[in-house]
Amino acid sequence: MKPDYEVITKSWNGIEIEIRWARNYIYYDDETTMSHIEVESLSPRRAPLPITETGYKSHFINECAVDRMGGPEGYVDAWLCEASHSGNWQNTKQLSLF
- Residue 52: closest CA among 76, 22, 26: 76
Higher-confidence position of 73 and 86: 73
Residue 78 lies in a domain: yes
Whether 97 shows a pLDDT value over 50: the answer reads: no
Model pLDDT for residues 76-90, shown as the tens digit of each residue: 999 999 999 876 765
Q: Coil, strand or helix: which one is 17?
A: strand
Q: Which domain holds residue 41?
A: 6-96
Question: DSSP letters along 57-75, please?
Answer: EEEEE-HHHHHHTTSHHHH
Cβ atoms < 10 Å from Cβ of 76: 25
- pLDDT value for 26: 87
Whether 14 shows a pLDDT value over 60: the answer reads: yes
Residue 59 lies in a domain: yes
- pLDDT value for 4: 87
Residue 1 lies in a domain: no
- pLDDT value for 27: 85
Whether 91 shows a pLDDT value over 60: the answer reads: no
Question: DSSP letters along 22-63, please?
Answer: EEEEEE-TTS-EEEEEEEEEEETTT--BTTBSSSEEEEEE-H
Model pLDDT for residues 40-69, shown as the tens digit of each residue: 999 999 999 999 999 999 999 999 999 999
Structural domain count of the chain: 1
Residue 88 lies in a domain: yes
